[in-house]
A and B are shown apart, each in its own frame.
Chain A
């Protein structure tokens, strides 16, 4: 029986937001506070070696979920455990096991890829010589040319920066890798490179991957199981094929994940994103 990599039990998270746009008696603006529920009672178990997808529109709670596992947020209630270590009470043990690639490739923009990756490697206690070899090998595997390794990142395209972000995520050999929309905003070529690398990791390493995306095809191709999330709730959870059989086909054609999303939430992906945008 496979070990449980990530266990999420009854996790709830809300944010308090100051709203300064409201008007009091139609005249003066005043500050008020509003509670925004990001996640409502999420339960999830992911096994070691699994590629688990969380599929949902923007603002559905995907990134909040990743930040909670990353120890960057604390839950209001419930618990998260990474290989048995509680994220809230034993964050140091969790941090040694995870790494994350997020949608925004956040770097010291004037530093080169090597300088940025060396900073990350040292933070994770890696030996500098070993780290240098590994980062060069990953960057080359991701299609970056060697002559760009020492150039400032501010001169790189978004796709190249995101590849460096992926390299940073894999550099420390995490046993649980958190990929938060790693291909959003990338050109098709860069997107294919990153997806191929994730597939390679899935096939050759024993890493567990939690991948959030709003790209249905990406989720379909990369994930062993997928949870569809909407307004902070998991509305369905199964294998990609299992999800497609959840709803009957009206015309005999094979269902897509988008059909499943519409059937389960009563609205399309773009519509859901527009609604979340208005709400936030």
Chain B
């Protein structure tokens, strides 16, 4: 059997396992969908109420679209981030981590399988939420550059895969607290990346952190495509920068993961199910 076929089967193991997890935990899935949907609606309604809050005439439709783009893109990116970061947390929780780690499957293959699932799942989930949310608001995406938006989203996915690998290390190092630390990391990204407001409203020191977050560029790029209709050509530097950051973060993430896996094996940390 060729190495490639074996690795493809190994990668598919993670796709199929995650689909089975969704099937078997469908109740949770519905709860999370309702949570994400109501979150997106609640945030977008802030835009609808801006005139009433400030007592001034504002372009409500623009603000609503601005917030909705932020909510949906964050929803998609956080699904990628959590799906990758939970590749260890799920196994710890179920107690199967030792069996997966002793299987002849390489960590990049493990990651490819998890990423394929994460992107597919993120797209489907975001489209479902988008499909429901557009029924609540009047949106004007007439001049939007949809192709540019898709390219921007794909480029952003690469860097979030890398960030997910960093977060996946945490449950290996800290069996009990690792998953919660992942939540904290996601919350920091949400704060600094300009998801619901321009980063210029942040204090200077937070703006410097925002400049290091790939989410900042994805969200700015998405708004440029969807709200301002910027051409794909003018966004190419941002897209290539995002891909570059993504490749760099994935490479560093894999090196760190390998180092931490070795440490966990040295210290006997794979055993505890936490």
Contact = CB atoms under 8 A, between A and B. Distances in A.
Interface stretch (B16-24, B71-79, B148-156): B16-24
Q: How large is the interface on A (under 10, 10 to 19, 20 to 34, 35 or more residues)?
A: 35 or more
Given A74-B266, A125-B1, A125-B9, A108 B102 contact: no
B266 A125 contact: no
B61 to A, nearest CB: 45
Contacts of B10: 122-123, 125
Nearest to A38: B268
A74 B269 CA distance: 11
Interface string B95-137: 1101111111110000000000000000000000000000000
A107 B93 CA distance: 10
Contacts of B62: none
Contacts of A72: 98, 101-102, 265, 270-271
B25 A110 contact: yes
B208 interface: no
Interface stretch (A94-102, A135-143, A199-207): A94-102
Nearest to B266: A74
A120 B267 CA distance: 26
A92 B104 contact: yes
* Best-buried of B95, B102, B267 by chain A (most CB within 10 Å): B102
A60 interface: no
Interface residues of B, number: 34
A15 B266 CA distance: 9
A71 to B, nearest CB: 6
Given A111-B20, A123-B103, A125-B5, A16 B98 contact: no
A98 B262 CA distance: 20
Interface of B is mostly: helix
A268 interface: no
Contacts of B7: 125
B46 interface: no
Nearest to A64: B268
A119 B13 contact: yes
B45 interface: no
A61 B3 CA distance: 36
Nearest to A63: B271
A70 to B, nearest CB: 5
A123 B105 contact: yes
A90 to B, nearest CB: 12
A122 B96 contact: no
B94 interface: yes
A25 B101 CA distance: 44
A70 B94 CA distance: 19
Listed from nearest, the 7 A-B pairs whose CB atoms lie closest are A125-B6, A122-B13, A123-B103, A95-B104, A106-B95, A110-B24, A96-B104
Given A72-B271, A106-B98, A123-B13, 8 more contacts: A15-B268, A67-B268, A72-B98, A72-B102, A74-B262, A107-B95, A119-B20, A125-B7
